[in-house]
Amino acid sequence: MTKAHSSPVTLHSALLYSPQFSHYLYGPSHPLKNERLALTFRLIEAYGLLELEGAELREPRLAEEAELLSFHHREYLQALRRADEGASFPSALTWGLGTSDNPIFAGVYSWSLLITGASLSAAEAIEEGGFDFAFNMGGGLHHAHPARASGFCYLNDPAVMIHYLVKRGRRVAYLDLDAHHGDGVQEAFYDTDQVLTISLHESGETLFPGTGFPDETGWGKGKGYSVNLPLYPGTDDGIYLWAFEEIVPPLLTAFKPDVLVSQLGVDTHRTDPLANLSLTLQGYARAVTRVRGMARKWVALGGGGYNLNNVARAWTLVWAIMNYRELDPTIPRKFLETARPFGFTEKSLWDPTATESEFSREAARKYAEKQVGIIKESIFPLHGIKG
């Protein structure tokens, strides 16, 4: 089912997962389906990726409230704890709770503590457990603000986890490949040079949250440490990988992070119902493989992804890539049988070749070239990189 290909050294990897990840539901009409996580786990299992040498499945812990205070406000946490019962209350909307994007559902706080705890557990696996790489597919909830739920996110697990690493003196690079701008994480580290945030996303001109332009470069000591590469609807694998290559490797080489944290949302996929980029899983996998190549210590997180067929395949691929495994392109039959009720119908791990119209491709290419040029001009000199 899987075959190993050469890894440079013996690596130890940790998969943080709990069946509880998918026990809490945003609601029947909400695009974020937590069952995508259980489905992904089952595909990982069906591919035999739970019994790999050097890899370990670990039970995540819950985040503690004191840890959340590194990013979130106490009053907001009180409100979120109150929402845990599943009923609204008078000031809920002040905190962004009870909107159609961020509904109040039973266990919303408990679930958020578990997801954030899993990201902290991933960082601890690296820092204390002797692991090189760790993956929390439930994490990457990058839109939560210090005192406001936003964009399906209640607690900002990447920000809380990066604070944990920074407290231990680590230099951290955060690379966000979700279709949406990683606004909450950028905000958390906007004024520090200890954390480099890079976000590739569909332009804020056409997609939530409307931010993430190249002129958002950081403030004070953090000037040049926030990098934004917006992309035009219709951006395909070729354009995406070109822009990625122009910007990401030079910056990571110059910054030399101790730990690379990546948010690997797969709402960049051409069939994602919420965003308008045009990647295939082949392009996604190539980007993730490049991320692996640039990381000494790597924490990978999930993120957006609203087509279950894509999510399960993409994050199974992430775990395979993390462990230098190549997968049989045919989806295991026993998985397909049980996954069909969830709407999973793909028979292949890979997508058919896709072609954008020349007109749309040209617009996306021109847009990407312009953004890359701006970043090279404004950010690269601050890091001593020759554009």
Closest CA to 178 of 334, 62, 261, 302: 302
Burial of 101 from C-beta contacts in 10 A (0-12 / 13-18 / 19+) = middle
CB–CB of 238/369 below 8 Å? no
Query: Interaction with Zn ion in 109-148: which residues (CB under 5 A)?
Result: none
Closest CA to 328 of 40, 3, 4, 52: 3
Q: How far apart are CA 52 and CA 295, in angstroms?
A: 20
Q: Among residues 267, 272, 351, 356, which is the contact residue for Zn ion, using CB under 5 A? A: 267
Q: Among residues 265, 283, 302, 332, which is the contact residue for Zn ion, using CB under 5 A? A: 265
Closest CA to 358 of 366, 346, 349: 366
At 100 the three-state DSSP class reads coil
Per CB under 5 A, 272 contacts Zn ion:
no
Q: Least Å distance between CB 144 and Zn ion?
A: 13
**Catalytic hit among 181, 201, 269, 383:** 181
Q: What does the per-residue mask of binding to Zn ion show for 332-371, with x meaning CB under 5 A?
A: ----------------------------------------
| 227 DSSP β-pair partners | 198
First vs last C-alpha separation in the chain: 43
Q: Least Å distance between CB 178 and Zn ion?
A: 4
Q: Least Å distance between CB 200 and Zn ion?
A: 12
Q: Among residues 42, 163, 180, 325, which is the contact residue for Zn ion, using CB under 5 A? A: 180
Please indicate whether residue 181 is annotated as part of the active site.
yes
Per CB under 5 A, 216 contacts Zn ion:
no
CB–CB of 135/16 below 8 Å? yes
- Nearest CB to Zn ion, comparing residues 157 and 267: 267
Per CB under 5 A, 187 contacts Zn ion:
no
Provide the 10 A C-beta neighbour count for residue 271: 13
Q: Least Å distance between CB 331 and Zn ion?
A: 24
Per CB under 5 A, 304 contacts Zn ion:
yes
How many residues contact Zn ion, by CB under 5 A? 6
Name the residues that contact Zn ion, by CB under 5 A: 178-180, 265, 267, 304
Catalytic positions are 181
